[in-house]
């Protein structure tokens, strides 16, 4: 009789151990499945698809911090493109300057007002002058905020009789602001100054 009770007790312990083992395994399996599902959901949510020419192209979302150098350089390039791309047309000049001033603070407006007072834009219109800019490089220091930048570019000024190439170097700082249609990168150029703006060469046309 005691042997039977011992066997029952042993069998009960074995069943209880096996049940606990099964429950533990199921709990681990469930936890792993939930973890994998969460990781997969995170991966899928980071993917976006862009429709271009009838084809869906996969892209990946990233954080603002990862994109700062790229967006900052493009912001500086856009500003210089709009500010220095001029044609002998008042509407073109006003449109480009307006776009540029959305990307910078009062330091850029002060330069614009100074050029305007010195009849620079009037001279472009009356002299049938076109001005273009090619940005060679933009150096951004993202380790200190606001972000300091140096912009190296070449200006080409086309007059009826001459073609002048100028070397342009500017610097300033970038501050974070809200994104908008007028400021898609969400930066504002501050303390913008021209360090160098000298002729490289002038050739007859």
Q: Is this model's pTM higher than 0.75 or not?
A: no
- Is pLDDT at 191 greater than 70 in this prediction? yes
Mean pLDDT (the chain) is 86
Q: What is the pLDDT of residue 2?
A: 46
Span 150-167, pLDDT tens digits: 999 999 999 999 999 999
The token pair at 67 is 């994109």
pLDDT at 30: 87
Beta strands 187-204 and 162-176 are antiparallel
* Topology of the domain covering 64-204: Nuclear Transport Factor 2; Chain: A, (3.10.450)
Q: What is the pLDDT of residues 29-62, one digit of tens each?
A: 888 888 887 777 765 555 665 555 555 555 555 5
Whether the Cβ atoms of residue 204 and residue 162 lie closer than 8 Å to each other: yes
Please say whether the dihedral angle defined by the alpha carbons of residues 148, 154, 156 and 162, taken in this order, is positive or negative.
positive
Render pLDDT for 117-163 as a digit per residue (tens, 0 to 9).
999 999 999 999 999 999 999 999 999 999 999 999 999 999 999 99
Question: Domain-by-domain residue ranges, the chain?
Answer: 2-48, 64-204
Q: Which residue has the higher pLDDT, 33 or 198?
A: 198
């Amino acid at each position: 009789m005691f042997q039977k009770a011992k066997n029952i007790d042993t069998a009960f312990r074995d069943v209880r151990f096996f049940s606990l083992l099964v429950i533990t395994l199921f709990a681990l399996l469930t936890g792993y499945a939930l973890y994998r599902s969460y990781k997969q959901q995170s991966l899928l949510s980071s993917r976006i698809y862009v429709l271009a020419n009838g084809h869906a192209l996969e892209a990946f979302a990233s954080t603002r911090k990862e994109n700062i150098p790229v967006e900052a350089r493009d912001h500086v390039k856009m500003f210089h493109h709009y500010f220095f791309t001029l044609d002998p047309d008042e509407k073109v000049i006003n449109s480009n300057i307006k776009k540029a001033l959305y990307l910078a603070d009062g330091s850029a407006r002060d330069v614009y007002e100074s050029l305007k007072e010195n009849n620079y834009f009037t001279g472009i219109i009356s002299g049938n002058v076109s001005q273009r800019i090619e940005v060679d490089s933009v150096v951004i220091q993202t380790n200190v905020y606001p972000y300091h930048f140096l912009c190296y570019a070449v200006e080409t000024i086309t007059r009826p009789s001459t073609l002048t190439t100028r070397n342009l170097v500017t610097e300033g700082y970038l501050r974070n602001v809200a994104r908008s249609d007028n400021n898609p990168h969400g930066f504002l150029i501050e303390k913008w100054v021209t360090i160098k703006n000298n002729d490289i060469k002038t050739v007859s046309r």
